[in-house]
Amino acid sequence: MAEISVEQIKKLKELSGAGLTDAKKALVEADGDFDKALEAMRKKGLTKAEKRGDRETREGLVDSYIHDGRLGAIVEVNCETSFVAKTDEFKTLAHQIAMQVASMAPLYVSEDDIPEDVRAAKMKELEENFKGPENMKEQILAGQAKKAFSDKVLMNQPYILDDSKTVEQFIKEAIAKTGENITVRQFKRIELGVTE
């Protein structure tokens, strides 16, 4: 069995947001392989984050980001308790979401927020231009519709500070660290000289 140092345990605890006991257990199970232990902890944390997704979020904060006095965004990000809402980590997360909105100009928080008439109009357009095999039509159209809206849906966008993950994955990592459900309730983006 590999030698496991206190420094490794502390570092894993810090990066995963887990307790010392869980961090040590993960390192033991990974036979001292730090990266393997961290990956296992992240998977476990994200699984827990999925379960927390149903819990109600009534606390939180409103944050904003202004870029060069020409464009900006204001967001409402919610969590379960005022304690978490006051932490630096949560404030940073809210600010980064505001930066994302200002930079990437999403129209909707999630796919559920896309109005049915907008979705239906896009499906009609895709159907009229469909040139694939009939037996695959439904699957192909569903994929094309998802792709058409992906850059307009905040949760599906690549996260601007780490494009290896989506905004939704970034938020799930924060849920795993805080132990609370976190949701983006609403946002507004304003650009100088541009009206909706």
pLDDT, one tens digit per residue, over 24-82 is: 888 888 888 887 887 777 666 654 545 555 567 789 999 999 999 999 999 999 998 89
Supply the pLDDT for residue 43: 66
pLDDT, one tens digit per residue, over 180-189 is: 889 999 999 9
Supply the pLDDT for residue 70: 93
Supply the pLDDT for residue 193: 86
Do residues 59 and 90 lie in contact, with contact meaning Cβ atoms separated by under 8 Å?
Answer: no
Whole-number Cα distances in Å, 64 to 61, 99, 115, 155, 185: 10, 8, 25, 18, 14
Mean pLDDT, residues 95-106: 96
Higher pLDDT: 96 or 53? It is 96
Supply the pLDDT for residue 88: 94
Strand partners, 184: 77
Domains of the chain by start residue, with CATH: 6-52 (1.10.8.10), 59-109+152-191 (3.30.479.20), 115-150 (no CATH)
Q: pTM score, two decimals?
A: 0.67
The closest alpha carbon to 17, from 180, 182, 183, belongs to 180
